[in-house]
C-alpha cells in the first residue's frame, strides 16, 4: 500500500506539490558546497515479463547557482524499444510559484544522429528552462513503456559533484517468482522488500546527503560513489532470449546474435586466400588481414536493430565498406576464419583509463567491441575501428581492463594488456643555442612511445598539417616562439608503437638579459604544471592511473665570455608516487641539463596526500630553476 500511495502522489497536479519545494525549506547543511539540491527523486521500474517493463520517474531539483544549471535541461531518449507515454516539465521560483509548464507535444524532438559517423533509430525529447534568477526549481516527470529488456537501470542516489540530496528513491516491481539480481557497490544499501499479490516490491531510499566535492587524483566515480547495480536474470529482446546471471550465459546470448553473420562474399574469400595462402606464420596472416580491413573499411556508429547489439553481417560490411565496432570486429573474425584462424569478438568498456568493472556481477557493463586471436602463451588484440593502429596494439582506449571474450561456449572474462613504465615513454633530445640578447634557437627530437603517443597518433593521421601545427603550438609552454619546421614519423613495426617528432623553433628573449647577466632556464620544454593545495582536506584515496617515464637531455650553447654565478642544485626524489632526477652542468661553451621523471600507477591512502603535494611541489619549483651567468670583465 505504501508504493501505491507514492504513485498516487506522483500523478497529482504539479501545482499542489509546489509548496513542498520552496527554497527556504532547504536545510543549510544541504546548501553547503552545492550547486543544486535534489529535492525529490523517484524511479519506479516495473518488470512485466523478461521482455517488457514500464518505467515511471520524477526528478525535482532546486538550482542554487550556475553550477547547477545543467539539470535545467532534461533529455529523454526513445527508440523502437522504448516509447514515451507522457513527459512534462515545470519550473518554479524560490517561493514555489509556477513559472512555466511544458507538455510532451511542446518539447523539442530531435534525432539521435549527431554527426555523419552515427546512424541510429533513436530520438530525444528535450525540455530546457533558462533562468538566471537563483534559486529556482525544475520538476520533470516521465512514464515509458519498454518492449525488449537488455539491461536494468542502476540506482545511483548521488552521482554528481556539488549536488546534495534531500530525498531519493528507487523501486523495482517484479513478478513474485522473478529472480532480481542486485549488488550494493561502495555501500551496504539493502532494499525493503514487500509483497503485494503476485508481485514483489524492492525499495531503496536515501535522505539528506550533503554535497560531494571533486578531488584531484580521486578514483573514478564507479570506485567511490555508493550505488546499487541491478541486472536481469532472464531477459528477452526481439525474440532473442538470454540469461545474464553468469558471464557464460551473457556470452551465449551475444554469440546467438552473431550466428550466421560470418558469411563472406566469394570475391572477398578469394582475396583472403590471395593475401594469406603463401604465408606460414599465423601472426603474419593476422597482420595482413588486419591491414586489409583498415584499408578497405571505415568506422560508422550504427545503433539500429536489437538495441544496437547485433552486428550487420560480414557481407554487408564487405559491400558497404563501413560498419560500427561490432560489425567491423565480426568482419575481422570472418576474414580470419576464412584463413583458417580462430578469432573472437570481445565486448569491452572503452575510454582512456576506464579500468573499473565489477567482475563478480555479470551485467551489461560494456559499450564497445574489439576482436582478438588467442594463442597458447599470448593474445593478438585488434582494435577494428582504427584505420591506423598496428595489429596487436590497443592503446589506452581499451588497454588494462576486463573484457568478455565470446565463443560458442559462451563468455569468459579476459584481461587486456597493460602498458607500463618501460612502454609509456617520452624521450626528448634538445640541441639549442642562446645569444647575448637571450634569443634561443633549438632543434628538438622526441620519441613518444605506447600510450604517450596515442593522442599524437590520432592528430597526425586525422588532422591536416595546418591543424597539426595549431595543436603543436598549443602544447609548447614558451612566452614567444616561432616554429620553423616540424615533422612526424610513425614506427609500427615494433610493439608497442612509437612516433618520432622533429621540431625546429626560435624563441626570442628566452633567456632574460639584465646588464651583465643572463638568466637561463635549462629545462626548455618539459615543465610540470601540477601544483596541489597543501592544506586541502582529503576524503578519498589517491589513484594515479597513468604510468610513464619522461627523459629530457638538453645541450644549450652559450655565448662566449660568460661564467656561472648561480646554478640550480641537482635533485633526486624517490617516492612511492614516482621518481624525479635533474642535473645541470655549465661548461665553458655550453649547458648540459638532464631531467628524468617517472610516475608510478597505484592507489594510496588519503593520509598520503601531503606527501604527494610536496612531491609535485618540489618538481614544479625545480622545473623552473634558472642558471645565472655573468659576463666576465
Q: Which domain holds residue 379?
A: 246-415
Q: Are residues 266 and 308 both part of a single domain?
A: yes
Q: Are residues 142 and 262 both part of a single domain?
A: no
- β-pair type (322-323, 298-299): parallel
- For residue 113, which phi and psi values (nearest 5 degrees)? -80, 105
Instruction: Report residue 46 as a C-alpha cell.
Output: 516495473
pLDDT of residue 222: 86
Q: Are residues 213 and 292 both part of a single domain?
A: no
Q: How far is CA 254 from CA 72, 164, 242, 247, 311, in A?
A: 38, 39, 9, 11, 10
In a domain, residue 240? The reply is: no
Q: Are residues 399 and 480 both part of a single domain?
A: no
DSSP-assigned letter for residue 279 = -
Q: Are residues 314 and 441 both part of a single domain?
A: no
Rounded Cα distance between 204 and 341, Å, is 49
96 by Cβ neighbours in 10 Å (0-12 / 13-18 / 19+) ranks as middle
The number of domains in the chain is 3
Rounded Cα distance between 166 and 137, Å, is 13
Q: Are residues 226 and 280 both part of a single domain?
A: no
pLDDT of residue 119: 61
Q: Are residues 151 and 122 both part of a single domain?
A: yes
Helix (H) or strand (E) holding 379: strand 379-382
DSSP track, 328-340: HHHHHHHHHHHTT
Average pLDDT, 10 consecutive residues per value, the chain (633 residues): 33 43 93 96 94 94 96 90 93 94 93 60 88 95 90 91 94 94 95 95 97 90 92 83 92 92 96 97 97 95 64 94 94 98 96 86 93 96 96 96 95 96 98 95 98 95 93 92 96 95 96 92 95 84 96 96 93 98 95 98 95 96 96 84
Cβ atoms of 531 and 567 closer than 8 Å: no
Q: Which domain CATH number covers 360?
A: 3.10.620.30
Q: Are residues 385 and 292 both part of a single domain?
A: yes
pLDDT of residue 236: 81
Q: Are residues 477 and 553 both part of a single domain?
A: yes
Cβ atoms of 244 and 232 closer than 8 Å: yes
Instruction: Report residue 122 as a C-alpha cell.
Output: 533513436
In a domain, residue 239? The reply is: no
pLDDT digits (tens, 9 = 90+) for 2-45: 333 233 333 333 334 444 689 999 999 999 999 999 999 999 99
- For the chain, how long is the longest CA-to-CA vector? 101
- For residue 289, which phi and psi values (nearest 5 degrees)? -70, -35
Rounded Cα distance between 227 and 156, Å, is 5
pLDDT of residue 306: 58
Rounded Cα distance between 6 and 455, Å, is 50
Q: Are residues 228 and 254 both part of a single domain?
A: no
HSE at residue 275, side-chain half, CA atoms within 13 A, is 22
Q: Which of 393, 415, 437 is at the close of a domain? A: 415
Amino acid at each position: 500500500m505504501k508504493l501505491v500511495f507514492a504513485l498516487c502522489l506522483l500523478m497529482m497536479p504539479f501545482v499542489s506539490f509546489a509548496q513542498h519545494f520552496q527554497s527556504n525549506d532547504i536545510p543549510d547543511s544541504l546548501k553547503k558546497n552545492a550547486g543544486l539540491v535534489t529535492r525529490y527523486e523517484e524511479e519506479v521500474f516495473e518488470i512485466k515479463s523478461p521482455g517488457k517493463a514500464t518505467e515511471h520517474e520524477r526528478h525535482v531539483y532546486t538550482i542554487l547557482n550556475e553550477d547547477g544549471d545543467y539539470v535545467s535541461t532534461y533529455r529523454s531518449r526513445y527508440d523502437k524499444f522504448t516509447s514515451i507515454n507522457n513527459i512534462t516539465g515545470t519550473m518554479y521560483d524560490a517561493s514555489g510559484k509556477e513559472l512555466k509548464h511544458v507538455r510532451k507535444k511542446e518539447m523539442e524532438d530531435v534525432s539521435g544522429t549527431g554527426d555523419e559517423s552515427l546512424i541510429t533509430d533513436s530520438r530525444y525529447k528535450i525540455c530546457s528552462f533558462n533562468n538566471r534568477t537563483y534559486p529556482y526549481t525544475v520538476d520533470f516527470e516521465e512514464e515509458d513503456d519498454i518492449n525488449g529488456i537488455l539491461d536494468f537501470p542502476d540506482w545511483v542516489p548521488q552521482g554528481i559533484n556539488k549536488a546534495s540530496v534531500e530525498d531519493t528513491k528507487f523501486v523495482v516491481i517484479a513478478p513474485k517468482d522473478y529472480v532480481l539480481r542486485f549488488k550494493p557497490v561502495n555501500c551496504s544499501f539493502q532494499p525493503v522488500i514487500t509483497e503485494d499479490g503476485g508481485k514483489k516490491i524492492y525499495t531503496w531510499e536515501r535522505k539528506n546527503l550533503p554535497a560531494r566535492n571533486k578531488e584531484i587524483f580521486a578514483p573514478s566515480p564507479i570506485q567511490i560513489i555508493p550505488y546499487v547495480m541491478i541486472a536481469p536474470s532472464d531477459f528477452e529482446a526481439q525474440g532473442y532470449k538470454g540469461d545474464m546471471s553468469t558471464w557464460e550465459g551473457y556470452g551465449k546470448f551475444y554469440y546467438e546474435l552473431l550466428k550466421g553473420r560470418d558469411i563472406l562474399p566469394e570475391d572477398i574469400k578469394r582475396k583472403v586466400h590471395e593475401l594469406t595462402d603463401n604465408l606460414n606464420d599465423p601472426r603474419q596472416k593476422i597482420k595482413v588481414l588486419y591491414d586489409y580491413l583498415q584499408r578497405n573499411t571505415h568506422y560508422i556508429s550504427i545503433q539500429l536493430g536489437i538495441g544496437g547489439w547485433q552486428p550487420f553481417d560480414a557481407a554487408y560490411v564487405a559491400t558497404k565498406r563501413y560498419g560500427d565496432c561490432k560489425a567491423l570486429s565480426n568482419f575481422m573474425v570472418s576474414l580470419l576464419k576464412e584463413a583458417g584462424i580462430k578469432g573472437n569478438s570481445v565486448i569491452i568498456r572503452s575510454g582512456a583509463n576506464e579500468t573499473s568493472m565489477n567482475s563478480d556481477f555479470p551485467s551489461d557493463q560494456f559499450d564497445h567491441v574489439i576482436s582478438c586471436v588467442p594463442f597458447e602463451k599470448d593474445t593478438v588484440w585488434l582494435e577494428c575501428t582504427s584505420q591506423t593502429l598496428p595489429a596487436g596494439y590497443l592503446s589506452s582506449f581499451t588497454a588494462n581492463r576486463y573484457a568478455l571474450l565470446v565463443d560458442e561456449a559462451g563468455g569468459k572474462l579476459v584481461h587486456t594488456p597493460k602498458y607500463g613504465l618501460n612502454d609509456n615513454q617520452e624521450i626528448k633530445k634538445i640541441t639549442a643555442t642562446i645569444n647575448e640578447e637571450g634569443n634561443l634557437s633549438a632543434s628538438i627530437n622526441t620519441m613518444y612511445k605506447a600510450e604517450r603517443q596515442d593522442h599524437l597518433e590520432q592528430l597526425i593521421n586525422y588532422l591536416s598539417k595546418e591543424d597539426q601545427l595549431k595543436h603543436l603550438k598549443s602544447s609548447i609552454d614558451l612566452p614567444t616562439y616561432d616554429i620553423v619546421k616540424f615533422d612526424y614519423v610513425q614506427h609500427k613495426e615494433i610493439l608497442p608503437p612509437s612516433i618520432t617528432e622533429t621540431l625546429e623553433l626560435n624563441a626570442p628573449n628566452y633567456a632574460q638579459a639584465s646588464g651583465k647577466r643572463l638568466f637561463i632556464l635549462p629545462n626548455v620544454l618539459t615543465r610540470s604544471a601540477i601544483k596541489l593545495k597543501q592544506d586541502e582536506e582529503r576524503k578519498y584515496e589517491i589513484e594515479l592511473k597513468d604510468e610513464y617515464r619522461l627523459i629530457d637531455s638538453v645541450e644549450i650553447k652559450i655565448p662566449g665570455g660568460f661564467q656561472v654565478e648561480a646554478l640550480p642544485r641537482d635533485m633526486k626524489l624517490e617516492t612511492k608516487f614516482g621518481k624525479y632526477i635533474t642535473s645541470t652542468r655549465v661548461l665553458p661553451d655550453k649547458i648540459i641539463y638532464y631531467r628524468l621523471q617517472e610516475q608510478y600507477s597505484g592507489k594510496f591512502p588519503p593520509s598520503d596526500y601531503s606527501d604527494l603535494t610536496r612531491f609535485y611541489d618540489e618538481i614544479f619549483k625545480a622545473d623552473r630553476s634558472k642558471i645565472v651567468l655573468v659576463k666576465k670583465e
